[in-house]
Copies of this chain bind each other. A is one copy, B any other.
Amino acid sequence: MNVQTLCLGALTLGEASGYEIKKLFEDGPFAYFYHASYGSIYPALSMLLENELITMRQEEQDGRPDKKVYAITPKGSGVLGRKLKKAPAPDKIRSEAMLMFFLADHLDASHLDEVFEGYLEAYRDKLDYVNRPDDGEWPPHCQFVKGLGQAFYRTAIRYMEENRHLLFSSIDQGEKR
């Protein structure tokens, strides 16, 4: 499963530009379970277009650069369907922050504090974002995914607030905060 499949999946939600697809992974509902950058999305869309799995329509905008709006074709739907028939690969996570917490005894207290607060803040932001009243009103199976994201965020925030002492107890010897 690569970014091409991902774009195909994103386009089943409706037509979109590369820029808009990127935002799905930045803020949108995909944000907590997948990532992709422009450098992978744009070439993926070109490929998909070439293979007629999607179509493109140039949209003029006033005061904005032109937009290339892509839409999935029946052929694209077929390909996506076949890719989704396989068993999913196990989740892959890489959290540098967690690694830092795990190696907290090698960090000085002030830096650990910065990392901790930054990480916690990031989770609060994500939760705020996902808690906004729904714009697009999702079908139940998308709510399932969104809800799991929320549950994760809440869990992380509560846990971090309640167990902060565990992280800092190893290296508390009278430093700031």
A residues touching B (Cβ–Cβ < 8 Å)? 1, 6, 9, 12, 29-30, 32-35, 77, 80-81, 84-85, 87-107, 111, 114-115, 118-119, 122, 139-145, 147-148, 151-152, 154-156, 159-160, 163, 165-171
Contacts and interface: CB of A to CB of B under 8 A. Distances in A.
Contacts of A90: 122
Contact of A141 (B85, B102, B143): B102
Contacts of A84: 100, 103, 106-107, 111
Contact of A148 (B12, B100, B141, B156): B156
A105 B87 CA distance: 16
Contact of A95 (B29, B34, B155): B34
A176 B148 CA distance: 25
Nearest to A35: B92
B170 A9 contact: no
A106 B123 CA distance: 30
B122 A147 contact: no
Given A12-B106, A94-B33, A163-B147, A85 B99 contact: no
A84 to B, nearest CB: 5
B94 A35 contact: yes
Contacts of A6: 99
B35 A96 contact: no
Contacts of A140: 165-167, 169-170
